[in-house]
Amino acid sequence: MKKIKNIVVLLLALVLISSNIYASKVNTKDDLMNSLDKEIILLKERMTRLEEAKKRVQKDKVDLGDPNLKNQNLRIALVLSGGGAKGAAHVGVLKILEKHKIPIDVVIGTSIGSIVGGMYSVGYTPDEIEQTLLNMPVDSMMREKRDRDKESAAQRFSKANQYPLSVSFGEDLKLSVPMGVLKGSEVYSWLKNIFARSSQIKNFDDLPRRYRAVTTDLQSGEEVVVDSGDMALAAFKSMAIPSFVEPVYDNGKYYVDGGVVNNFPVDVAAKMEGIDLVIAVDITANPTNINENSNMLTVIDQLASYNGNRKTENNKNFSDILITPDVKDHGTVDFTGLEKLVQDGIDAAVEVEPTLAKLSNEKKFNEIYAKADQLKDAGRDIKSVEVTGGKLLTSQAVNSLRPKTEGELLSVKDLDEWSKNIATLDYVERVFYKVEGEKVIFDVQESNNYDLKFGVNYSEARGIGLNTGLAFKSYRAFETEYLVDLGISKYPEITVRTSNAYDIAGIKILGTASIGYDTDPMLLWKSGEKKSTLKTETYFGQLALGTAINNTTIFGIRGKFQNSKIKYEEGDSQFNILEEENTYLRKSTFLLHDSLNAKYYPTKGVNVIAEGYNASNDATTDADFTGYITTLDMYYPITKKISLGVFGSAAKISGDDVPINEVPKIGGVRTETSYNMLSFYGLSQMEKYAEETYIYGGELKYNLFGECYFITRYNYGWIRNATNQYEEEEFLNGYGAGIGWNTLLGPMDLVLTNNIEGSSALINFYLGYSF
């Protein structure tokens, strides 16, 4: 996490530095005088505001030494600073305020302070806020995975969607580098749900406790205090960390975290009319100390923090009661140990508890909660939609994605579901929404037409490789995807593919066409030792046509005309007798079903791959074979952390002229049916070549964190060997355990298994996707 923070700081610094590059200019004397006049005007305006604030302090502020403050009708402002995960300490302070029934008139917050403060403003109790923070889905917020339950069949089986990394560019060929690591879609959805009860209130002064969120106008660098609109959007604007979360676009402007200009907005409270007293909670980090051990990133971090740190120190002087929980050393993005942070907040508030106790006003306190009890997520009768910000998305498409509900009214949860349905469209990057009367307005950000995609991979057979893909999507009469895929490794490949999706009278038709060249290794083993490697070079053209029975199932036919040359590459030269060349048309029928909750390391759902194929020896082909390959995987969650998986696979091939590259290959810890490879714990990758095989087994998966799992697996199989290195028929037992982790570069497997053909255990390592 510290590395991520440093990268973010570096990116921010580069943005700040680049923003100060101007074109050359010669200033005249009049230009200089005008600039000085503007600065003088700004200073005078600031002095006027400070004088007005001073008068309000003299007029409205109370004396905390007065013993008769209890039950007075005081207007108290609560200010909560930004600080990321440390915001849990705010909850501890709230618990002490609640203990003494202190009525808060207005809550002002920055970043996490705007979230905790917003929840308190709408009537959440401190205990409810604590549980909300403890159950915050941090992992899903950081990963921003597409909801697979909402994907279409075309999206589930798209090759282009397998790439983990990509950059976009438009028709003008200008690269579109993301403005942040995350889009924050999951955060926005989370905020929408927690602020559902106040969704129909537009003026934040109408809340049980008035509310203000501080954000930063990215273009001008000025502080903006949000006092109306959508509470979820206001809090989102306030916590959009520059370079980490993309700036929030709203009404023609971009907004980022309010901490950039005012992380501790006590001065906002001090300037508000009628405020008698300010309670301020400061959880900001200590300023960085520069010394001989500091590095470049430390210096950049300090440069980027000067303004915020300076204002925080000044603002401490504007509070009447300053509460400073001892959380400075806790990481801003460390969401562990939140219970201790809550206690730190309690401990800090206890230090000023005698003074806080004087502010009790039970009657006014109860009135606030009585008003909060009246808030609820009332349903909305939506009769029309409006789409803003996009060119491709139409109101008709939006209406088709409306969730089915029991009645006519839509709750915030229903609207959020609708928004997520829209976000699953390939060309939609981000969705915000608001309701005006009987109309819902979806503000969308659409993606560029072209994507340059990247992926790395490693396997025992192929070694390390880099895959790059150039994808273009068109959404005119029907959906079309073009993909040029280039694999750079010891075994290079290139494929040009087009995929089309049609909707004809409600029937979804999918078609693909591709041509390409690829090379693949074939490993030959004996008694657990790799003896030789052959290489298959293939030129091919392929057509496929199918129908999407539903969003999880495709049935279709495929024809692949190919020329394959098998050459000896290295190792025992006696295997050069296997060299051959074949040209044939491989025809197949297939069924694909995928209801898994994740493509890799699923914990729920079913996956089925079934293909029957054949090639006939005629005037155009010199191969003759028939076969099938099928796999079944089923996963069941047992607890939140543990899941059970059962699986089975089978394959068979026979014929008068069977190319060796078509023979099913058994071994390794990953199944790749497109390469006729079935996994088997206890065997190295491609250790067995089978004319016929049946495999079944089970696994237990334990979630360590995020998308990282500890997996233990057992498999049992029967094999009729296609080569004479082993007995004609074998029964095999394999087992192993290891780590499966869906990293930013794709899935990574590190697994230790038994060695059926040898004495020492097998170590299996895989990284990335198979393209």
Instruction: Evaluate if residue 99 carries a pLDDT over 90.
Output: yes
Instruction: Evaluate if residue 576 carries a pLDDT over 80.
Output: yes
Helix, strand, coil tally for the chain in percent (to 5): 30, 40, 30
> Quick one: angle between helices 338-350 and 88-99, nearest 10?
40
Least confident of 146-160, 382-396, 432-446: 146-160
Tell me how crowded residue 256 is: count the other CB atoms within 10 A of its CB: 27
| Pairing of the two strands 106-110 and 210-217 | parallel
At 208 the pLDDT is 96
Q: Where are the alpha helices (DSSP H) in 316-404?
A: 338-350, 353-357, 362-373, 395-400
At 526 the pLDDT is 86
% of the chain with per-residue pLDDT over 90? 50
CA distance 768 to 771: 9
Contact 566, 522 (CB under 8 A): yes
Contact 246, 430 (CB under 8 A): yes
CA distance 512 to 486: 18
Domain boundaries, the chain: 384-446, 450-767
List pLDDT tens digits, range 100-131. Answer: 999 999 999 999 999 999 999 999 999 999 99
Instruction: Evaluate if residue 291 carries a pLDDT over 70.
Output: no
Average pLDDT along the chain: 86
Instruction: Evaluate if residue 14 carries a pLDDT over 50.
Output: no
For 437, counting Cβ atoms within 10 Å of its Cβ (0-12 exposed, 13-18 middle, 19+ buried), the class is exposed
Instruction: Evaluate if residue 237 carries a pLDDT over 70.
Output: yes
pLDDT band of 11, cuts 50, 70, 90: very low
CA distance 512 to 485: 15
CA distance 119 to 122: 5
pLDDT band of 185, cuts 50, 70, 90: confident
At 696 the pLDDT is 97
Q: Which of 143-147, 437-441, 659-663 has the highest mean pLDDT?
A: 659-663
At 16 the pLDDT is 42
List pLDDT tens digits, range 141-156. Answer: 777 666 777 777 777 7
CA distance 71 to 517: 82
At 404 the pLDDT is 86
- Which amino acid makes up residue 292? E
Residues in CB range of 240: below 8 A, 6 or more apart: 180, 184, 215, 246, 247, 248, 255, 256, 257
Q: What is the DSSP string of 413-474?
A: HHHHHHHHHHHTSTTEEEEEEEEETTEEEEEEEEPPSEEEEEEEEEETTTEEEEEEEEEEEE
At 10 the pLDDT is 43
pLDDT band of 17, cuts 50, 70, 90: very low
- Which one-letter DSSP state was computed for residue 303? H
Cross-strand partners of 573 = none
pLDDT average, residue stretch 304-314: 66
More confident residue, 447 or 441: 441
| Pairing of the two strands 439-446 and 384-388 | parallel
Instruction: Evaluate if residue 578 carries a pLDDT over 60.
Output: yes
Instruction: Evaluate if residue 467 carries a pLDDT over 60.
Output: yes
- E-only strand ranges, 580-687: 580-594, 605-615, 624-637, 642-657, 665-666, 677-678
**CA atoms 152, 158, 164, 169: torsion sign:** negative
Q: Which of 93-107, 160-174, 439-453 has the highest mean pLDDT?
A: 93-107
At CB < 8 A and 24+ separation, what contacts does 367-370 make?
A: 367/103, 368/103, 368/104, 368/123, 368/208, 368/209, 369/123, 369/208
The distance from CA 517 to its chain's CA centroid, rounded to whole angstroms, is 34
pLDDT band of 304, cuts 50, 70, 90: very low
pLDDT average, residue stretch 370-398: 86
119 in helix, strand or coil? Answer: helix
At 551 the pLDDT is 87
List pLDDT tens digits, range 37-65. Answer: 887 887 887 777 667 666 656 665 666 66
Query: What b-and-e string marks burial along 58-76, b requiring 16 or more CB atoms within 10 Å of the CB?
Result: eeeebeeeeeebeeeebbb
Instruction: Evaluate if residue 1 carries a pLDDT over 50.
Output: no
pLDDT average, residue stretch 469-498: 86
At 2 the pLDDT is 41
pLDDT average, residue stretch 82-87: 90
At 158 the pLDDT is 78
pLDDT band of 301, cuts 50, 70, 90: very low
Instruction: Evaluate if residue 18 carries a pLDDT over 50.
Output: no
Write the CATH number of the domain with boundaries 384-446. Answer: 3.10.20.310
Contact 687, 525 (CB under 8 A): yes
Q: What is the DSSP string of 55-109?
A: HHHHHH---TT-TT-TT----EEEEE---GGGGHHHHHHHHHHHHTTPPPSEEEE
Instruction: Evaluate if residue 452 carries a pLDDT over 70.
Output: yes
Contact 668, 681 (CB under 8 A): no
CA neighbours closer than 13 Å in the CB half-sphere of residue 607: 21
pLDDT average, residue stretch 375-403: 85
Query: What b-and-e string marks burial along 134-162, b requiring 16 or more CB atoms within 10 Å of the CB?
Result: eebebebbbeeeeebebbbbbbbbbbbbb
At 226 the pLDDT is 96
196 in helix, strand or coil? Answer: helix
Cross-strand partners of 586 = 560
List pLDDT tens digits, range 615-650. Answer: 987 656 678 999 999 999 999 999 999 999 999 999
pLDDT band of 266, cuts 50, 70, 90: very high
More confident residue, 218 or 168: 218
pLDDT average, residue stretch 278-298: 70
CA distance 325 to 347: 7
At 55 the pLDDT is 65
List pLDDT tens digits, range 668-709. Answer: 999 998 889 999 999 999 999 999 999 999 999 999 988 899
Q: Which of 316, 279, 247, 320 is nearest to 108 (CA)?
A: 279
Domain 450-767 top-level CATH class: mainly beta
